[in-house]
Amino acid sequence: MVRWEPGAPERLQKAALELFATRGFEQTTAAEIAEAVGLTERTFFRHFSDKREALFHGQQVLVDSFLDGVTAAPPSAAPLEVVATALRSASAFFPAERRAHSRLRQSVIDRNPALQERERHKLTTLATTVAAALRARGVDELAATLAAESGVTVFGISFIRWLREDEDRSLADITDEVFAALLKLAGEVPPARR
């Protein structure tokens, strides 16, 4: 007779998403989420530092795939090239099968400012981490920060488009396109300003 089933964080996370999607984030209580999987509120907060984290837990894999991409880039690559590599690497973590789930999750986030805030915070953390990895490659701080932030911006925009589109273009294709659009914008600035 087990007192607790294994995988408490995952079960809580799943229940949280379902409840958030149906009742809404604010209308869902941490105690309710816990109760839905046979646990108590106290235990919920042992697994998640706060209620929002139930939606953001497990993002480390995304960070790692970015870092893998940074590592995989050839040593001679310019900072933004490294970032482009990281973008492709990260895109691999969002195959087409995941779109439905990502869409549901995103719809919850889009309906709540507090969750948008947290999402943005996670992206910022990601940018900071990527910037550090770039510096470790010898890129100077300003270039590293700019390149990392730009990469995360491209990723964020691409991800939204990936969820929005009807066709099944891969996320990698979209990041390529958005990345190219960024370079094009830069190229349109007259040399007088550069």
Partner DNA sequence: GCCTAGATGTCAGCCGCTGTCATCACTAGG
Partner DNA sequence: CCTAGTGATGACAGCGGCTGACATCTAGGC
Closest distance to DNA from the beta carbon of 123 (Å): 19
Is residue 180 part of the contact set for its own copies (CB under 8 A)?
yes
| Closer Cβ to DNA, 38 or 58, answer by number | 38
Closest distance to DNA from the beta carbon of 9 (Å): 8
Candidate segments 35-43, 85-93, 157-165, 180-188, binder of DNA by CB under 7 A? 35-43
Candidate segments 26-34, 61-69, 94-102, 142-150, binder of its own copies by CB under 8 A? 142-150
| Closer Cβ to DNA, 25 or 94, answer by number | 25
Is residue 81 part of the contact set for its own copies (CB under 8 A)?
yes
Cα dihedral across residues 99, 118, 61, 57: positive or negative: negative
DSSP string, the chain: --SS-S-HHHHHHHHHHHHHHHH-STTS-HHHHHHHTT--HHHHHHH-SSTTHHHHTTTHHHHHHHHHHHHHS-TT--HHHHHHHHHHHHHTTS-GGGHHHHHHHHHHHHT-HHHHHHHHHHHHHHHHHHHHHHHHTT--HHHHHHHHHHHHHHHHHHHHHHHH-SS---HHHHHHHHHHHHHHHHHTS-GGG-
Closest distance to DNA from the beta carbon of 7 (Å): 8
Is residue 101 part of the contact set for DNA (CB under 7 A)?
no
Interface residues for its own copies in 148-177 (CB under 8 A)?
Answer: 149-150, 153-154, 156-157
Which residues, 6+ apart, have CB-to-CB distance to 153 below 8 Å? 182
Q: Select from 17, 21, 36, 41 the one that contacts DNA (CB under 7 A).
A: 41
Is residue 63 part of the contact set for its own copies (CB under 8 A)?
no
- Report how far residue 109's alpha carbon sits from residue 54's, in angstroms, rounded to the nearest whole number: 12
Task: State both tokens at 180.
Answer: 């190219």
Closest distance to DNA from the beta carbon of 116 (Å): 15
Q: Select from 20, 51, 73, 155 the one that contacts DNA (CB under 7 A).
A: 51
- What does the binding site for its own copies look like in residue numbers (CB under 8 A)? 78-81, 84, 113, 116-118, 120-121, 124, 142-143, 145-147, 149-150, 153-154, 156-157, 178, 180-190, 193-194
